[in-house]
Structure 1
């Protein structure tokens, strides 16, 4: 199982990096388009119709795609006052519990948001705006983002199961993957 976990983590590291680059590029595109809007409106006296809609979609998509990236980088919110007081063994058991909860909710959200996006595609739902953006495009960021988060939660669960099985609560799998 440890060999599988190392291969899984290498794959997940590449996937997470790719998703993170896409999310970062969307935020950058959003920033540049807003700067363009300011210039077009203030200097050229010719405001655009597309910037607000596209920027909103970019930030929304980047937010959902960034969930798994944030989790992988241990940037999600947790209560340090409690976590810092736990022994490594207790922390591992708490992580197993929270990983199971996270997997459950991420799975449910992934499935239902996938169904919503597919329904929008099937019904050809479009935004009631000038651009008429097909809604399945921004909606697909939800199952993709939660799917990556789900894979990251499974990684954490597997790492913790191995720690419990080996009674080794000091092992850090992330450092082994980067070797």
Structure 2
């Protein structure tokens, strides 16, 4: 199980890095687009029609793609007022339960958002804007983002199961993968 977990974590690290890089480029592009809009308006007195829409899509897509990245970096919101007072064993069991619940909801959101995206493709839904962007494009970030988040949560569940089986609650798998 530990060998599978190590391979799984290496794959997941690459996937998360790819998705995070895409999200980062989208945020960077959004920044450049907004600067271009400011220059176009202020210097050339010629506002653009596309910057607001594209910037919004970029930020939304980056947000969904960044969920798994944030989880992997332990940057999600934690309410640890009680957890910090628990023993490592109790903390592991509590994490396992919350991760199972999180996996359920991530799976549910992934499936529902995939259905929404497929419906947009089927109905050829487009944004009612000048660009007429097909809505499946920004919507596709939702199932992808939730899938990466789900895979990250499954990683945590597997790590917790290994800790419980080994009765070793000091294990840290992330350090082994980063070697």
Task: Assess same fold via TM > 0.5.
Answer: yes
Report what 1:40 is aligned to.
40
Report what 2:74 is aligned to.
74
Structure 1, residues 110-139: CA drift from partner, whole Å, max 9, x if none? 001001101101111000000000000000
Note the C-alpha offset of 1:80. Answer: 2.7
Report what 1:60 is aligned to.
60
Query: How far apart, CA to CA, are the structure 2 residues paired with 1:31 and 1:77?
Result: 26
Which aligned pairs between 1:10-159 and structure 2 lie closer than 5 A? 10-159=10-159
Runs of 4 or more, structure 1, over 3 Å off, are none
Q: Which moved more, 1:84-93 or 1:157-166?
A: 84-93
SS at match of 2:15: helix
**What TM-score do the two structures reach when normalised by structure 2?**
0.99
**What TM-score do the two structures reach when normalised by structure 1?**
0.99
Note the C-alpha offset of 1:85. Answer: 1.1
Query: How far apart, CA to CA, are the structure 2 residues paired with 1:60 and 1:54?
Result: 10
Query: How far apart, CA to CA, are the structure 1 residues paired with 2:165 and 2:4?
Result: 15
Report what 1:173 is aligned to.
173
Query: How far apart, CA to CA, are the structure 1 residues paired with 2:44 and 2:87?
Result: 62
Please, which runs of 5 or more residues in structure 1 have no aligned partner?
A: none
Query: How far apart, CA to CA, are the structure 2 residues paired with 1:49 and 1:82?
Result: 50
Query: How far apart, CA to CA, are the structure 2 residues paired with 1:5 and 1:109?
Result: 25
Note the C-alpha offset of 1:58. Answer: 0.1
Please, which runs of 5 or more residues in structure 2 have no aligned partner?
A: none
How many positions carry a matched residue from both structures?
A: 179
Query: How far apart, CA to CA, are the structure 1 residues paired with 2:22 and 2:87?
Result: 37
Report what 2:163 is aligned to.
163
Query: How far apart, CA to CA, are the structure 1 residues paired with 2:150 and 2:76?
Result: 14
- Superposed CA RMSD in Å reads 0.6
Note the C-alpha offset of 1:87. Answer: 1.1
